Amino acid sequence: MNDNIIEFHNISKSYGDNVIIPNLNLNIKRGDFLTVIGSSGCGKTTMLKMINRLITPDKGEILINGKNIKDIDVVKLRRQIGYSIQGNMLFPHLTIAENVYYVPDLIREDEKNNHKNKNIESDEAYNKNKKEKLSILMKHVGLDDSFLNRFPHELSGGQQQRVGIARAIAAEPKLLLMDEPFGAIDEITRSQLQKQLKDIYNQFHQTIIFVTHDIGEALFLGQHVLVINHGVIDQYGTPSDILNNPATDFVKKLCERTRVLIDKKNNKI
């Protein structure tokens, strides 16, 4: 089997005269933690949403595990991809437990509807399993079980974001799409969450595509970093590649501040 979990072939997308992505070709390795960085409006979110078909490209094709995503049932495709986005996009009318287990519950519901006569897990077993798994998921994101019966509005922004991550990994997806999930929280909470996400990745080694506009975050989290400028790939490499051999002025500028910080730390200045 192909080593690439995702392949972009000649993808382009524009809104009217506004070209977001002129022509994108990209392979993402299975098990990679790829951070995507660029200034706002550069097409990084568009790229992400094309993978779970929230946005349709004008031209080109995207393969997942070698299969064109157009040929996969859209609902099935999305359910095997974890999705986490910026801000508080928890469902306000559902408890934390219902939010986290949203996708597994959907899958369960469909199984029940589609296989009425087949043997499926009993409600009892499912609920017991659900309780255990919720507890584990909460531990992964550093939250106490007592949160499970609360509603989102009773939680702080950082806590909500943790729930958002737990929700994204609840169905154990092999691919996780994250769109600036830590964009709107304070520095200290953010670094905690970054560490927790890294722990999760180190434990499960799912493929993560993580969009951010914070170069520090991109360099810290990513095994590979993709720098996008106006829909064009400026550089695609390891964090040290990016730092040490910036391919373009844009990348250089992007890394400047970080390099200064590193130099400061090493007492070079």
Partner 1 sequence: MLNELLTMFATQSDFFLGLTIEHLEISIVSIIMAIIIGLGLGITVSEYPKNKWILTLVNIIYTIPSIALLGFLIPVAGVGDTNAIIALTVYGLLPMVRNTYTGIKTINPEIIEAARGMGSTDKQILFKIKLPLALPHIMSAIRNMTVMTIALAGIASFIGAGGLGVAIYRGITTNNITLVVAGSILISILAIGIDLILAGIERITAVGHSRKKIGNLFKNKKVIAIIIILIVGVGAYEVYDNLGHDTIHLASKSFTEQYIMGYMLQELIEHDTNYKVAYSSGVSGGSPTIQRGMEKGDFDVYSEYTGVGWMVILKNPGLYNESMFDTLKLQYKDRYNETWLNTYGFSNTYEIAVPNSVAKKYNLKTISDLVPVSNQLVFGAESDYFSRADGYDNLTKTYGLNFKDTMDLDVNLKYDAVKQGKIDVVEVYATDGRLYNSNLTILKDDKHFFPSYYCCPVISGKTLAKHPDLIPVISKLSGKISTKDMRYMNYQVDVEKKDPKQVAHNFLVSRKLV
Residues near partner 1 (CB under 8 A) are 49, 52, 54, 75-79, 81, 83, 85, 87, 89, 91-93, 102-103, 106, 109, 151-154, 167, 177
Tokens representing 170 are 């609840």
Give me the least distance between CB of 50 and partner 1, in Å please.
12
**Residue 168 or 197 with smaller CB distance to partner 1:** 168
**Residue 46 or 258 with smaller CB distance to partner 1:** 46
**Residue 89 or 120 with smaller CB distance to partner 1:** 89
Q: How far is CA 150 from the centre of its chain?
A: 25
**Run of H or E including 184:** none
* Residue 119 to residue 160: CA distance in whole angstroms: 36
**Residue 13 or 224 with smaller CB distance to partner 1:** 13
Interior/surface letters 46-75, b for 16+ CB within 10 angstroms, e for the rest = bbbbbbbbeeebeebebbbbeeebeeeeee
Give me the least distance between CB of 83 and partner 1, in Å please.
4
Q: At what angle do helices 187-204 and 123-140 cross, to 10 degrees?
A: 130
**Residue 151 or 220 with smaller CB distance to partner 1:** 151
Give me the least distance between CB of 181 and partner 1, in Å please.
12
Give me the least distance between CB of 105 and partner 1, in Å please.
9
Task: Indicate the SS3 state at residue 82.
Answer: strand
Q: Are 5 and 207 in contact (CB under 8 A)?
A: yes
**Residue 34 or 177 with smaller CB distance to partner 1:** 177
Tokens representing 260 are 């200064």
Tell me how many degrees the CA angle 231-234-238 measures, rounded to the nearest 5. 125
Tokens representing 216 are 């520090």
Give me the least distance between CB of 52 and partner 1, in Å please.
5
DSSP, residue by residue, 200-234: HHHHH--EEEEEES-HHHHHHH-SEEEEEETTEEE
Give me the least distance between CB of 97 and partner 1, in Å please.
12
Tokens representing 60 are 């080109």
Q: Are 91 and 99 in contact (CB under 8 A)?
A: yes
**Residue 79 or 162 with smaller CB distance to partner 1:** 79
Give me the least distance between CB of 183 and partner 1, in Å please.
13
* Residue 268 to residue 187: CA distance in whole angstroms: 25
Q: How far apart are the first and last CA of the chain?
A: 49
Give me the least distance between CB of 93 and partner 1, in Å please.
5
**Residue 150 or 252 with smaller CB distance to partner 1:** 150
